[in-house]
Chains A and B, each alone.
Chain A
């Protein structure tokens, strides 16, 4: 029996367009039976927050301030031409009108297809976050060494 193809993506960016790329690749690969691992680190952790909107979560004043500014998956900025948060709304509307999957649809598809979600332990520590701050899809909290071991033998992308 041949081994499954494997795709691992390090999701460092918390940008809207880059999150679209992550979940398009993840859901597409999972749909053709790849084992897919997503490792969310630093700004990417913002995508995993379970509470919608800007919240003062995390330990410590600075961490809570950062986490408030990073408003979770519903407030991801566009990497360019963000226009104070207007562009992601416009972009989502454009995608819907052209029957292209939105970030929410791509995320839901990735979950439905069994993509593995992992959170970076170091980034969580810096931002004062706990596992309870993340969506239940997060399979585990990993360090770099464990993620490298997990991604061995497959393709690894950095977004």
Chain B
């Protein structure tokens, strides 16, 4: 469902806009960036925020 929520937000964006997503380490952090790239989006950066939370910035191309 994490990817589903991400995808729904990305669909609302214009081309060139970016989306920041906070993801937990493990399955969400592995699955979401990989799947958005497969769907044709661009992952600009992945940074550790705190504890097991990571911030991923995705660009709609």
In angstroms, Cα B4 to Cα A112, docked, is 10
Asked if A155 CB lies within 8 Å of chain B CBs, one says no
Counting chain A CB atoms within 10 Å of each CB, the highest count among B1, B38, B39 belongs to B1
A33 touches B39 (CB 8 A): yes
Whether A27 is near chain B, meaning CB under 8 Å from some CB there, is yes
Q: B8 contacts A113, CB within 8 Å? A: yes
Q: B residues 24-47 with Cβ under 8 Å of A?
A: 35, 38-39
Q: How far is the CA of A30 from the CA of B5 in the complex (A)?
A: 12
Is A100's beta carbon under 8 Å from chain B?
Answer: yes
Asked if residues B3 and A28 are in contact (CB atoms below 8 Å), the reply is yes
- For the complex, is B7 an interface residue (Cβ under 8 Å from A)? yes
Assign chain A's interface to a size class. Answer: 10 to 19
Complex Cα gap A132–B25 (Å)? 46
B7 proximity list for chain A (CB < 8 A): 31-32, 113
- Count of A-B contacts judged by CB separation below 8 Å: 31
Residue interface bits A15-46, CB-to-B below 8 A is 1, else 0: 00000000010011011110000000000000
The chain B residue with its CB closest to the CB of A29 is: B4
In residues 84-131 of chain A, which contact B (Cβ within 8 Å)? 100-101, 105-106, 109, 112-113
Q: Do B8 and A109 have beta carbons less than 8 Å apart?
A: yes
Interface string of B1-15 (1 = CB under 8 A from A): 101110110000000
Whether A112 lies near B1 (C-beta < 8 A) is: no
Query: Contact at A106–B1, with CB atoms within 8 Å?
Result: yes
A32-B7, A32-B38 given; name 12 further pairs at CB < 8 Å.
A24-B1, A27-B4, A28-B3, A28-B4, A32-B39, A101-B4, A101-B5, A105-B1, A109-B1, A109-B4, A113-B7, A113-B8
23 examples of A-B residue contacts, CB within 8 angstroms: A27-B1, A27-B4, A28-B1, A28-B3, A30-B4, A31-B3, A31-B4, A31-B8, A32-B3, A32-B7, A32-B35, A32-B39, A33-B39, A100-B1, A101-B1, A101-B4, A101-B5, A105-B1, A106-B1, A109-B1, A109-B8, A112-B8, A113-B7
